[in-house]
Amino acid sequence: MDRQVRLIGAPMDLGADRRGVDMGPSAIRYAGLADQLESAGIECVDYGDVTVPRPEELEPVADESVDGRAKYLAETEVVCERIASAVDSTVSAGEFPLVLGGDHSIAIGTVAGTTADDIGIVWFDAHADYNTPQTTPSGNVHGMSLAAILGTGSFAGSEWAHAPNVDPANVALVGLRNLDEGERRHIRESPVTAYTMSDIDDRGVTDVVESALAVADSAADGLHVSLDMDWLDPNEAPGVGTPVRGGVSYREAHVAMEYVANCSTDLCSMEVVEVNPILDTHNQTAELACELAASAMGKRIL
């Protein structure tokens, strides 16, 4: 990483159905992210947190402006616009935006603020986050974030959500193991490339990540990496809101981030999401989030 990293906190849990991920940015900072980066020779500055409405002051009603169900959608739009503004100002200053979540709906804001002409995305997650308000079984927007970015379904007309500079053909999902039926249909009908945990079992994590980066790299000017900590096995990362057994190991996750750091395409933005300290053990998941972010930024053993 040859740029100063700017940490942007997004203490958002409106997109989830479980409280606690709003404390994720604080937990990650407390675990020593800035120290991890600076020990690797990476300059780091903390922007602080964007302002997020308190759920206690809101009603989780479905937004009537969309066909379907999406809880706190109007509030999510406001927060994502704030994140997008913070990311845009970071990029304009020549710094690298590292956004700390918060639930995965914040990815909508990160990508919106990343101004490269054509962006490829690698989405490390147990879930596809490819539901729409029409297909969601829960109404939780953190399960719709990728669909929103790609303008799927009723998100097609959402200027705040749909990122037209992201071609679905340059999007790769890595490590899937828990999909809703609507998401399966969207993946089959879309040019996105999806790698399940079975693919990682069969081919190995390095081969899969290399392929995913090649997908994101083709015809793209920049790379966005979205790291949901539930991508890892719950034994490694217990402090997440939607854990799914059978995820990647500690070492597999590190080598994946090391491949990200060595990718030929310019890494232009990244978020680390879904750290829930209420469900964690001795801040284990936040500490691991720090290590993985540092690996993606270029920290090495030697």
Catalytic residue among 142, 162, 186, 254: 142
Catalytic residue among 77, 104, 258, 287: 104
Catalytic residue among 129, 233, 236, 252: 129
Catalytic residue among 125, 199, 233, 280: 125
Catalytic residue among 103, 167, 199, 230: 230
Catalytic residue among 81, 127, 236, 258: 127
Per-position DSSP letters for the chain, written without gaps between them: --S-EEEEEE---TTSSSTTGGGHHHHHHHTTHHHHHHHTT--EEEEEE-----GGGS--PBPTTSSS--BTHHHHHHHHHHHHHHHHHHHHTT-EEEEEESSGGGHHHHHHH---SSEEEEEE-SS-----TTT-SS--GGGTHHHHHTT-GGGGG-TTT--TT--GGGEEEEEE----HHHHHHHHHSS-EEEEHHHHHHH-HHHHHHHHHHHHHTT-SEEEEEEEGGGB-TTT----SS--SS-B-HHHHHHHHHHHHT-SS-EEEEEEE---GGG-STTHHHHHHHHHHHHHHT----
63 is catalytic: no
125 is catalytic: yes
Catalytic residue among 13, 63, 228, 291: 228
88 is catalytic: no
Catalytic residue among 274, 280, 287, 291: 274
Q: How far apart are CA 230 and CA 274, in angstroms?
A: 7
Backbone angles phi, psi at 181, to 5 degrees: -60, -40
224 is catalytic: no
List active site positions.
104, 125, 127, 129, 142, 228, 230, 274
